[in-house]
Chain A
């Protein structure tokens, strides 16, 4: 077992060697521009792209023509939301999303508010799921788009996508989902799920960084988005720019591997996750964040009360994890996702996200359990809050000096 152990697979995943192998020829001999229609170099590159498009389409149950390659999920989110807002401006200006979305969605919506959009940010329940009745109550005739993420990046909860899309469609709105954390991990089917637009990224599923895709429905209804970049009219005019052929080939291969291995892999990962979570939640005053029924198989988010997340991460020095603690962000605010669940600031500061992946072994999980336990115990011995808690002092009654 090599140290440190990587348990931050929701941030990014390592490239699968089989993906790398598929990509290599497109970085060397097959270097052509996929838009070069008049010679073999271009044809070879285009073939690679076409095949990747098929592989990606198969994973989410759509047709090749519905896949628009982008530089990643952030660009796909931007293109989907801004593109719909501009294309359907005559129909309305109302967009519905949720407070726990990724910044790529939230900040895009904020941007559109300046351009005249009206945006509803739905709160989530304390398990991280949105309230369907609240969604329905928010729908208006002006609503053109509902965009709700598939699986959450911090806590892993999976939203009731079928029900959400049904509500959106009932009121004539399109349904988009940022499925970056879900695609390749759990079954996602754009038709069964009623999805009109879907964003995802290769590097969260053992593909390369810098490439992603936006699915745009072509039938029932035919969805159109306004391009956000002007240029050569690539990707059916929706996303100009020379195609990142090696990246796209890698994305395709990554999709294929996920499709073939998902069932078994999800079982294996949820088994390891449950082992980790079970062991750590047995510790005194530790809490699992988010719904534990409807969620991704590979994420555990746990708060260890009375220790601070960043200090804890430093103490878990052989584990690469992440924390909702403010100290890890530039803003000094703890995770807005955890706060949306109604978690108090101190519990949000005390949270650790463990993200398991394809290359995580049971040996590593055993090590992580030991290492985390020791670190939590060590820091609780240093913590005045732990001491007060043990003495039975009610911390909420203390007047803390504002700072």
Chain B
């Protein structure tokens, strides 16, 4: 609830910067669109994370929490964030689990954008679970 009423890290990073990875997931027709961005330094550490989300309260809270968790992690550590951790932390009800899945997808998608920009292979994304 706190992450919904006072979302952290709302905003936009320069998507054209090489050190920024952007993930845009979801679709307006489905009622959820999440944009999550990370800024990575030369040591592969995420120094900043921002989001904007179109969606219900749980989607907003999930993305806010995800950005909090991302900051200070290395990119490899960030890949281990699991949607169920978000579910647990926010005590999301079963009908809102898809919001956490979307947040996990957004993280992975942002990391891949960063990797591709910097000449790395994208990591394989699991098939969408919703």
Contact = CB atoms under 8 A, between A and B. Distances in A.
B2 to A, nearest CB: 13
A383 B52 contact: yes
Nearest to A395: B28
Contacts of A330: 95
B112 to A, nearest CB: 12
Contacts of A334: 31
Interface in B98-127: 98, 102, 105
Nearest to B10: A382
Given A311-B56, A384-B34, A384-B35, A349 B12 contact: no
A247 B81 CA distance: 55
A400 B33 CA distance: 9
Given A395-B28, A403-B27, A385 B59 contact: no
A381 to B, nearest CB: 7
Interface string A288-315: 0000000000000000001111110010
Interface residues of B, number: 30
B12 A385 contact: no
B72 interface: no
Interface in B22-78: 24-35, 52-57, 59-60
A385 B4 contact: no
A385 B120 CA distance: 29
A308 B30 CA distance: 10
A345 B27 CA distance: 10
Contacts of B56: 308, 310-311, 314, 325, 327
B28 A349 contact: yes
Interface in A293-351: 306-311, 314, 325-327, 330, 334, 344-346, 349
B130 A403 contact: yes
Contacts of B26: 400-401, 403
Contact of A311 (B24, B25, B55, B102): B55
Contact of B31 (A326, A381, A383): A326
B29 A345 contact: yes
B80 interface: no
A392 to B, nearest CB: 15
B28 A385 contact: yes
Contacts, number: 89
A117 to B, nearest CB: 33
Interface of B (DSSP majority class): mixed
Contacts of A402: 27, 128
A387 interface: yes
A395 B30 CA distance: 14
B54 A345 contact: no
B128 A403 contact: yes
A384 B53 contact: yes
A345 B30 CA distance: 7
A113 to B, nearest CB: 29
Nearest to B35: A384
Contacts of B24: 384, 401
B4 A314 contact: yes
Given A307-B54, A308-B56, A344-B29, A381 B10 contact: yes
Nearest to A346: B28
Interface string A347-367: 001000000000000000000
Interface in A367-403: 381-387, 395, 400-403
A146 to B, nearest CB: 33
Given A311-B59, A381-B10, A400 B4 contact: no
Contacts of B7: 382
Given A330-B95, A383-B53, A308 B31 contact: yes
B30 A403 contact: yes
Nearest to B34: A384
A28 to B, nearest CB: 41
Contact of A385 (B30, B54, B130): B54
A385 B33 contact: yes
Contacts of A344: 29
Given A384-B24, A400-B27, 15 more contacts: A306-B54, A308-B54, A308-B56, A314-B57, A327-B31, A346-B29, A349-B29, A382-B10, A382-B53, A383-B54, A384-B35, A384-B54, A385-B28, A402-B27, A402-B128
13 contacts: A308-B32, A308-B55, A308-B56, A314-B4, A344-B29, A383-B53, A383-B54, A384-B53, A385-B28, A400-B27, A400-B29, A403-B30, A403-B105
Closest 8 CB pairs of A and B: A400-B27, A346-B28, A345-B29, A384-B35, A310-B56, A384-B52, A349-B31, A314-B57
